[in-house]
Amino acid sequence: MGIVKRYVWAGLALLAGACASAPPPPAGIAARTGTAPIAACRTAAVTIAFDFAGAPPLACAVTGARDFTLLVSPEHAPPINPSPWYAFRYTAAGGDPVRVTLRYIEGAHRYAPKLSADGATWRELPATVNAEGESASFDLPPGEGLVAAQELITPINNETNLEAWSALGGAPVFTIGTSHDGRAIHAIRLGRADAPRLVVLLGRQHPPEVTGAIAMEAFVDALAERADTLGDVQVLVVPMLNPDGVARGHWRANRGAVDLNRDWGEFTQPETRAVKAWLDALPAGVRPVLMVDFHSTGRNLFYVQGDEASPAQARFLAAWLGGREAAFAGYPFTIEPRNANPGSGTAKNWFHATYAIPAYTYEVGDVADRDAARKAARELAVGLLPALASLEE
């Protein structure tokens, strides 16, 4: 099916399934803001709605009294990274299950559906995926719940995390910039503002990469708990650089249809410009010494510098990650020392080229054990400060 026909199908399906707006989301679920009202897909017994932060307005076709097809399409025309994101809530009266089929446009099935009653506890649902990965079907129990490709970590959850880190580390949350939609890009700086060595931690450049956010939360938890021991190190934490993409349920891009992790160096977008402006305003004597950018992919790994690494950078790698690939129960990882995506404007490459520092991409597997990922992240955070000393040798 050609691209034009596919998008025509999406529009027709939306018309087929759209109807009156659903009741408001339940307490504790943030309603969608900043966009026009999103119609619900409804039969006499079942309602599917996309009216909360993190849910994209999927095209929906009613194919039976308790049977629905959702078209999962990207936020902008191809090319786009194939990370098909979906999220919706449903209510279903009666005792029979609800059948949902996901049909993917410009992507294949990547994320197994997860169900939650409260947005906090999630369980994976069994799904039948066709041979080409172009569709996946699963059943929902009667009642109500949230369904998403991964756990929902939205801007409101991000604010909760920042407040917790502020309480632990005694540092205020501040706004480093503003997105296209006017959302605040919040950050926190752990440690003394005049500490000469700066570690930069970035997260959620790519909205669907939730396992990276889970690891980052645990990583920063450990640092915030030890904020009074940072000494001559300060840590800038920007845990959700792309709040518009997260809130809108994007696959990859920000509101400007740009992959933020290809904008470092060009700085065409307000989100990346905000970080650069903050760095440019650092007082004399304060300089970045490390950047870690949290992401998700098919397996646990670290992208680090390859042949371009200096002797000091090689020492840091050996001190922090070397030999620990199988050290964490349930969380093995690999180290890939290479210049990934050369010339493409990634944060990893820009920080290394600009400041001559180790700049790593911390990739967490899509299906990584969540508890193991958290425990490994905490231990890696604890080992970070001693490893930084190797840069000074």
3-state helix, strand, coil in the chain (%, to 5): 30, 25, 45
Q: What is the pLDDT of residue 341?
A: 75
Q: What is the pLDDT of residue 238?
A: 99
> What mean pLDDT do residues 220-241 have?
98
> What mean pLDDT do residues 352-370 have?
98
- Torsion 351-353-359-360 (CA) sign: positive
Summarised one tens digit per residue, pLDDT across range 306-354 is: 999 999 999 999 999 999 999 999 999 999 998 877 878 999 999 999 9
**What's the pLDDT band for 40 if we cut at 50, 70, 90?**
confident
Residue ending a domain, among 148, 180, 211, is: 148
Q: What's the CATH number where 198 sits?
A: 3.40.630.10
Chain centroid to Cα 87, Å, comes to 14
Q: Are residues 40 and 99 in the same domain?
A: yes
Please state the φ and ψ torsions of residue 378, each to the nearest 5 degrees: -60, -45
Helix axes 370-382, 210-225, angle to 10 degrees: 40
Summarised one tens digit per residue, pLDDT across range 244-282 is: 999 999 999 999 999 999 999 999 999 999 999 999 999
**What's the pLDDT band for 24 if we cut at 50, 70, 90?**
low
Summarised one tens digit per residue, pLDDT across range 44-100 is: 999 999 999 999 999 999 999 999 999 999 999 999 999 999 999 999 999 999 999
Q: What is the pLDDT of residue 38?
A: 59
Q: Are residues 122 and 20 in the same domain?
A: yes
Share of the chain above pLDDT 70, in %: 90
Q: Are residues 160 and 132 in the same domain?
A: no
Tell whether the model's pLDDT for residue 18 goes beyond 70.
no
Q: What is the pLDDT of residue 98?
A: 98
Q: Are residues 51 and 124 in the same domain?
A: yes
Total structural domains in the chain? 2
State which residues form the domain around 119. 3-148
Q: Are residues 265 and 328 in the same domain?
A: yes
Q: Are residues 130 and 173 in the same domain?
A: no
Q: What's the CATH number where 92 sits?
A: 2.60.40.3120
Residue ending a domain, among 82, 114, 148, is: 148
Q: Are residues 244 and 381 in the same domain?
A: yes
Q: Are residues 275 and 140 in the same domain?
A: no
Tell whether the model's pLDDT for residue 16 goes beyond 50.
no
Q: Are residues 163 and 224 in the same domain?
A: yes
Closest residue by Cα to residue 179 from 236, 260, 252, 249: 260
Tell whether the model's pLDDT for residue 190 goes beyond 70.
yes
> What mean pLDDT do residues 3-16 have?
38
- What is the C-alpha separation between 214 and 42, in angstroms, rounded? 33
Q: Are residues 169 and 312 in the same domain?
A: yes
Q: What is the pLDDT of residue 1?
A: 40
Share of the chain above pLDDT 90, in %: 88
Tell whether the model's pLDDT for residue 235 goes beyond 80.
yes
Q: Are residues 100 and 193 in the same domain?
A: no
> What mean pLDDT do residues 357-379 have?
98
Q: What is the pLDDT of residue 338?
A: 87
Q: Are residues 14 and 39 in the same domain?
A: yes
Residue ending a domain, among 148, 180, 206, is: 148
**What's the pLDDT band for 20 if we cut at 50, 70, 90?**
very low
Spatial CB neighbours of 310, under 8 Å, sequence gap ≥ 6: 356
Q: What is the pLDDT of residue 17?
A: 40
